A and B are shown apart, each in its own frame.
Chain A
Amino acid sequence: QQQVKQSPQSLIVQKGGISIINCAYENTAFDYFPWYQQFPGKGPALLIAIRPDVSEKKEGRFTISFNKSAKQFSLHIMDSQPGDSATYFCAASPPWGKLIFGQGTELSVKP
């Protein structure tokens, strides 16, 4: 019940395309859903986050879609660029609880 399942494991997208990464959770107590971006040899960096009181949040080319009834959320990267090539982790946490990460998606954007 504490798991966050992420898919796909890897993703190849052409420059200018849309990258979509999906996550699912089981624990209905989760109330914070961030996405982290990680470049090789670096720590995870917060990209965007959402709470369950909204269904969508957009920041620049990055959008989180959240479906509370399905217990799913996804990251959409519009106009994907080679510089977006990184590993993306979804995560979730309950109030005052630990942040639980998904397995990660290795995104490669081809020029």
Chain B
Amino acid sequence: EPEVTQTPSHQVTQMGQEVILRCVPISNHLYFYWYRQILGQKVEFLVSFYNNEISEKSEIFDDQFSVERPDGSNFTLKIRSTKLEDSAMYFCASSEQGTGNTIYFGEGSWLTVV
């Protein structure tokens, strides 16, 4: 079964450093998402991306965050200057069509900011 793959699975970074989380969505999918989950809390929407541009973003997704699809297969989330409160599990997801259809999640990248 096709799957969304994410790297790294775990990253520890110092506060103020830049982090890039990488994702390979399912190959025929057109819509891409990043969600995050702080330990023990619910899954929160960060951003959706379609046709090489952001289609929606949450209030969490401030100027410190950016997304990019640098080539035909990768989808990245960059956090420019990490803060302690950015420590969370970050999930990449993709869907063949927009929201309202099945969204497939990767296994997550656990980010620890120290």
Contact = CB atoms under 8 A, between A and B. Distances in A.
Nearest to B105: A43
Interface in B81-114: 91, 93, 98-108
Interface stretch (A58-66, A75-83, A89-97): A89-97
Interface in A25-63: 31-32, 34, 36, 41-46, 49
B98 A96 contact: yes
Interface of A: prevailing SS: loop
Contacts of B33: 98-99
A94 B56 CA distance: 13
A101 B99 contact: no
A49 B104 CA distance: 13
A43 B106 contact: yes
B76 interface: no
Nearest to B106: A43
B108 A103 contact: no
A45 B45 contact: no
Contact of A96 (B41, B42, B91, B100): B100
Interface of B: 4, 33, 41-45, 48, 56, 58, 91, 93, 98-108
